[in-house]
Structure 1
Amino acid sequence: MAKIRRRLTQDDVAMISKIDDVTKTYFGRDPERPDNRFCKARGRMPLEVRRAQQRMRTARWRADMDRRKAPTIDEVGRALVEALVTSDRDRLMDRTGAEFDLVKRTLLSLRDRGYSIDETKETLRRRRDRLVHPGDRRDEEAGGGLLF
C-alpha cells in the first residue's frame, strides 16, 4: 500500500530552515580535522588507458591458461555436452555407469584437444569449491568426493 505524503506548508519550510541554520552554526565540521581517506583518488584515468590495461590483463590470463593447457569451465561444459549428445541413448537410459562414462569421455575429449587432464581436474575442483559449502566437503581431503 502506498504511503500518502502531505505537502510541506510554509511553517514546515521555516522549521526546516531553522534546523539547518542551527546545524551549520553549532555542529559545523572542523576544516583542520584529520583526513579520513586512506586511498587517495589519483584522478580519473582516460577510458582508452583503462581499456588497454584490461586487454593486457586478459592477454596475460589467456597466455597463462595456454601455457598450463588449462580449459575454462565453459570449455569443460562444452566437452560435457558433446559427450552427452554423442552418447548411446540406451546406455544413458540403462544408468549403469553412464555418469562415469560421460565424465571419462569428457576428459578424453579435452585431452585429445590438447588440454591437460590434471588442469581440467583443477578447474573442476575450483568450481566445486566455489559452489559447495565447506562443511559439505569436509572428508574430501581423505579421498572422498569427486570421481577423480
Structure 2
Amino acid sequence: MRGATLATYDDELATTWQAYRSDHEDLRFTGEFRRELDNITFPGERAAAEEAVETYAVYQRDDRKIRALVAQGKEREAVAFGISWQPGMSNAHFGAWLAALDKVTDINRQHFTASVQAGRSAVGRLLPWALGALLAAVALTVFGLRPRYAEFR
C-alpha cells in the first residue's frame, strides 16, 4: 500500500481489504495477495485466498502489539507473546497464516497435478501412434528413394 507507514499500515490494510470484500473490482487493495485474488481459477480458491489475507492481517497486527509492549518496557511479555504457540499468541497466528496459505497452494497443486496426469495419459495413448507414423514415414522415404540410390551405384 503506497504511503502506508508502520503507524497507518493496519488501518490502511483494513480499509483496502474491506473495499475489496465489498467490490472485487476495487483496486485499492494491492500486492501479491491481490495478484492471487485476481487469478482465481478453481472452486474454493477465492475463499482460501481471502482466509489467507485475513490471517495475514491478524499476524501483522501482532507486530504492532510486540512493538507496543517493548515501548512500554514489557520486554518479557513481548518475547513471550512473540515466541509462544499458544492460541492467541503470535506464533499461533503465524501458523494459522501458513495453514491458510497452504490451502491456497494445495488447491492449485491438486489441479496442476490432475492436469499433468491428464496430459501424460493423453500422450501415453498417442505416443505409440505417433511413433508408428514416424517409422512408417521413414520406411516409405527409404523405400521411395531406393531407386534413386540405385542410379548412383
- TM-score past 0.5 threshold: no
| Structure-2-length-normalised TM-score | 0.23
Relative contact order, CA 8 A, sep 6+: which one is greater? Answer: 1
| Structure-1-length-normalised TM-score | 0.23
Task: Give the structure with the higher percent helix.
Answer: 2
